[in-house]
A and B are shown apart, each in its own frame.
Chain A
Amino acid sequence: MARSFRGGVHPDDQKRFTAAKAIEAAPLPEKVVIPTRQHIGAPCTPLVKVGDLVKKGQIIAQADAFVASPVHASISGKVAAIGEYPHPVFGSCPAVVIESDGLDEWAEGLPLNRDWNALESDEIKEIIRQAGIVGMGGATFPTHVKLAPPKEKTIDVFILNGAECEPYLTADHRVMLEWADRVIKGMLITMKLLSVKEGYIGIEENKPDAISVMRQASQGTGITVTPLQTKYPQGAEKTLIKVVANREVPSGGLPMDVGVVVQNVGTMVAVADAVEKGIPLIERVTTVTGGAVAEPKNLLLRVGTTFVKAIELAGGFKEEPAKLIMGGPMMGMAQCSIEVPVIKGTSGILALSASEINAGEERPCIRCGRCVEACPMGLVPSMLSILGERGLFAAAKEKYDLLDCVECGSCVYTCPAKRNIVHYVKLSKAQNAAMAAKK
């Protein structure tokens, strides 16, 4: 029996367009735009200047701060420009533009061959940091930080997030099917460095093939594959931990407060590649799909490939897109430019047609209670939207637990009045932060 959590919604998973399509390596791009900031944390400073020749895997931007992640050249070639470029998360961001020399040459010494069993925990952590690995599910939090919990927190459970509960996306699904051994290896490396014995892989039931492949691949490792009910947001960290480990992350807390670390499928592949072969995070699998895309695909793309290139590789548009999104349709970010580059957290590129977004006009809340039932965090989303709409930001925080909202969007999905609840939540959070900063 697959396990579940309270609340959630059941949107059509729309994975049929790409679920059966093998990962396709994109041809070498002629040009990449690599933002110096592809993570949550301090921005990096470029280490190269215009005209420099760079090799694939070479660090081109770095920061001294601990919560930051270096950026590497994803192709070999010449630095053509450094400047402000469109960014899928931050709007715009300094970026290094590299023009390919067509050779796709590795930086010196790469790839190497390393026995990870011989490495110490601290060495592995440093390798992960230097490889620029961040959470590839979309949050882009630097992985080495997540793997370095404070001393007083004992971690005893590791969960691999194979839920992929976002509709349309199949990147993690394909990675589990095709690269199961690398996923398991990354997981074993990570569990070793955390000294964790108990490992789980949570996968939604709509991916029975992935469940059996991962079971096969994890045989003899002591890792348990846990089938999960297909329900959004099954893969949200807090609900995943609740379902898999039956532990409830306290309000305002982090997974490490209940002794759990959760990692994304793609991130584990990146860890395995970095630790064994010294390969930094320069490419990733991205699902390019949506009703407006002619031939939806799972593409292995170099970081810095522009969306327009990626969509061309998926056959271009078959109809006019109404919305362009980085990530999934529930938590992804709407884009206003097609020139934005693929970054480390780009799990999907969606071009949705008007009929798919089913927008509708926003109307007053009729208190139907559907959002309250859908909220996995046990909040009253209707009140958050009303308070946000009226500018009562402090009340939203103090009386209606604004900060507990994980912005999963289940409430908005289910709302018959088409209220933009997550918009009001984001607004209220930003306003509260601004008020706090003033004090």
Chain B
Amino acid sequence: MTEAKLDLGKLSVSASPHIRCDESIAKIMWMVNLALAPAALFSIYRFGWSSLTIMVLCIVAAVVTEYAIQKWQGKPVTINDGSAFLTGLLLAMNIPSTLPWYMPVFGSIVAIAIAKHTMGGLGFNIFNPALVGRAVLLASWPVAMTKWPTMTSQIDGMTSATPLGILKLQGYEKLVEVFGDKMTMYKSLFLGSRSGSMGETAAILLILGGVFLIYRGYIKWQVPVVMIGTVGVLTAVFGQDPIMHMMSGGLILGAFFMATDMVTIPITVKGQVVFAAGAGALTVLIRLLGGYPEGVCYAILLMNAVTPLIDLGFKPRKFGARR
């Protein structure tokens, strides 16, 4: 018989179950960061080193802010879990690469300090922190936030407007004209040869990352499909070019990476479908009738606000519920 080594004092005594799966918050958050990596790297290739600088500024500011707040409040420091890193990276993806250094830093501080920690930290925030950061930047520096970098490739002419900006101010014909023809426009939107925020341009890379997250089970396919689908259907109904709308602006980035932010969206798949449809509809409303050319950011933030209501209305079906 092997010698029994048992230290009763070290025995863990707790409620069942006594085994856990391998998932953790850190694993999920780093996986989402990884899923964003292709689009992030592409933005460096597209927009140059300034893009990398902005990314580093956003991430460092977010992580340092989280560290400082947790230290100050005497809470456990959780900067290694990848969530502050993700907020910084997502904010960077949502802003132009031409901003002066203090703007992204400010945006990250707002995102982490106000949107996340005044609510109680991870898990308690109502609004997506990165989108709050972006919204505050857009309200604070509207000019800088809507000035886009010159592209270095085939569509050199577009220096100061995104496709949706051209659409809003000059119309659809002008937009097609800028790209040459419709097919070139679709191809450019799909492959990322267009101006825009750092991380939103390459539809294909964002979809790639999103599919990875769906495969891993971290996000539900219904969310991006319903949100992008709603935009497609509604723009078609209102006589717009649905393919162009579905691939423009921050829709793909938002639908795969922000409308799927588990903390701020409904908890059931049914609720998430409602959320995604609402976000898609609000996006179209803002794009077609609002003052801004793009509406994904505000659409998601508005839907974040009604998430608790959706949760109340869309609970799962209870086993044995009397019909």
Q: What is the predominant secondary structure among interface residues of chain B facing chain A?
A: loop
- A242 CA / B16 CA spacing, docked (Å): 24
- Looking at the complex, which of A33-41, A74-82, A243-251 is the stretch in contact with chain B? A243-251
Total number of residue pairs linking A and B with CB closer than 8 Å: 186
Query: Is the CB–CB distance between B20 and A358 below 8 Å?
Result: yes
Residues of B within 8 A of A378 (CB): 316-319, 321
Looking at the complex, which one of A329, A376, A413 makes contact with B21 (CB distance below 8 Å)?
Answer: A413
- Looking at the complex, which of A153-161, A216-224, A334-342 is the stretch in contact with chain B? A334-342
Residues of A within 8 A of B176 (CB): none
Query: Is the CB–CB distance between A316 and B2 below 8 Å?
Result: yes
Query: Is the CB–CB distance between A248 and B6 below 8 Å?
Result: no
Task: Report B49 CB to chain A, min CB distance, Å.
Answer: 34
The answer to whether residues A380 and B315 also contact, given A167-B19, A420-B15 and a CB cut-off of 8 A, is yes
- A318 CA / B1 CA spacing, docked (Å): 9
- A149 CA / B315 CA spacing, docked (Å): 34
Residues of B within 8 A of A333 (CB): 16
Task: Report B213 CB to chain A, min CB distance, Å.
Answer: 12
Residue of A nearest to B7 (CB): A320
Residue B45 at the chain A interface, CB threshold 8 Å: no
- Interface size, A (range): 35 or more
Residues of A within 8 A of B78 (CB): 363
The answer to whether residues A238 and B122 also contact, given A331-B16, A409-B16, A423-B14 and a CB cut-off of 8 A, is no
Residue B124 at the chain A interface, CB threshold 8 Å: yes
Residue B309 at the chain A interface, CB threshold 8 Å: no
- A368 CA / B28 CA spacing, docked (Å): 10
Residue B262 at the chain A interface, CB threshold 8 Å: yes
Residues of A within 8 A of B262 (CB): 366-369
Query: Is the CB–CB distance between A380 and B122 below 8 Å?
Result: no
Task: Report B66 CB to chain A, min CB distance, Å.
Answer: 14
Query: Is the CB–CB distance between B5 and A320 below 8 Å?
Result: yes
Residues of A within 8 A of B269 (CB): 369
Residue A53 at the chain B interface, CB threshold 8 Å: no
Query: Is the CB–CB distance between B20 and A418 below 8 Å?
Result: yes
Residue of A nearest to B14 (CB): A334
Residue of A nearest to B272 (CB): A369
The answer to whether residues A317 and B2 also contact, given A356-B19, A412-B17 and a CB cut-off of 8 A, is yes
**Which of A337, A360, A363, A418 counts the most B-chain CB atoms under 10 A from its CB?**
A363
Per-position contact with B for A323-358: 1 when CB-CB < 8 Å, else 0? Answer: 111000111111111100000000000101000111
The answer to whether residues A329 and B124 also contact, given A253-B320, A334-B13 and a CB cut-off of 8 A, is no
- A367 CA / B120 CA spacing, docked (Å): 14
Residues of B within 8 A of A364 (CB): 120-124
- A336 CA / B17 CA spacing, docked (Å): 16
Looking at the complex, which one of A9, A294, A336, A376 makes contact with B2 (CB distance below 8 Å)?
Answer: A294
Residue B12 at the chain A interface, CB threshold 8 Å: yes
The answer to whether residues A367 and B263 also contact, given A317-B5, A360-B24 and a CB cut-off of 8 A, is yes
Residue A259 at the chain B interface, CB threshold 8 Å: no
The answer to whether residues A360 and B20 also contact, given A316-B1, A368-B262, A378-B318 and a CB cut-off of 8 A, is yes
Residue B27 at the chain A interface, CB threshold 8 Å: yes
For the complex, count residues of B whose C-beta is within 8 A of A: 48
Residue of A nearest to B27 (CB): A416
Residue A102 at the chain B interface, CB threshold 8 Å: no
Looking at the complex, which one of B15, B218, B321 makes contact with A422 (CB distance below 8 Å)?
Answer: B15
Query: Is the CB–CB distance between B11 and A372 below 8 Å?
Result: no
Query: Is the CB–CB distance between B19 and A367 below 8 Å?
Result: no
Residues of A within 8 A of B17 (CB): 329-331, 409, 412-413, 422
- A338 CA / B7 CA spacing, docked (Å): 10
Residues of B within 8 A of A413 (CB): 17, 19-21
Query: Is the CB–CB distance between B11 and A324 below 8 Å?
Result: yes
Residue A375 at the chain B interface, CB threshold 8 Å: yes
Query: Is the CB–CB distance between A332 and B21 below 8 Å?
Result: no
Residue of B nearest to A290 (CB): B18
Residue A209 at the chain B interface, CB threshold 8 Å: no
Per-position contact with A for B287-321: 1 when CB-CB < 8 Å, else 0? Answer: 00000000000000000000000000001111111
Q: Which of B41-97 contact A (CB under 8 A)?
A: 78, 81
Residues of B within 8 A of A363 (CB): 25, 78, 81, 122-123
Q: Which residues does A use to contact B, with CB under 8 Å?
A: 6, 9, 11, 167, 238, 242, 248-253, 294, 308, 311-312, 315-325, 329-338, 350, 352, 356-360, 363-370, 372, 375-380, 382, 401, 404, 407, 409, 412-418, 420, 422-423, 426
Q: Which residues does B use to contact A, with CB under 8 Å?
A: 1-8, 10-25, 27-28, 78, 81, 120-124, 218, 262-263, 265, 267-269, 315-322
**Subset of 24 A-B contacts with CB under 8 Å:** A9-B21, A250-B320, A251-B320, A252-B320, A317-B5, A320-B10, A329-B16, A330-B17, A334-B11, A352-B19, A357-B19, A377-B319, A378-B316, A378-B317, A378-B319, A404-B319, A413-B17, A413-B20, A414-B23, A416-B24, A416-B25, A417-B24, A417-B123, A418-B20
- Top 7 A-B residue pairs of the complex, sorted by shortest distance between their CB atoms: A409-B17, A364-B123, A423-B15, A416-B23, A251-B320, A378-B318, A330-B17
Besides A316-B3, A352-B18, A360-B24, 9 new A-B residue pairs in contact (Cβ under 8 A), listed by A number: A317-B5, A330-B19, A334-B12, A334-B13, A359-B12, A370-B23, A407-B16, A414-B23, A417-B25
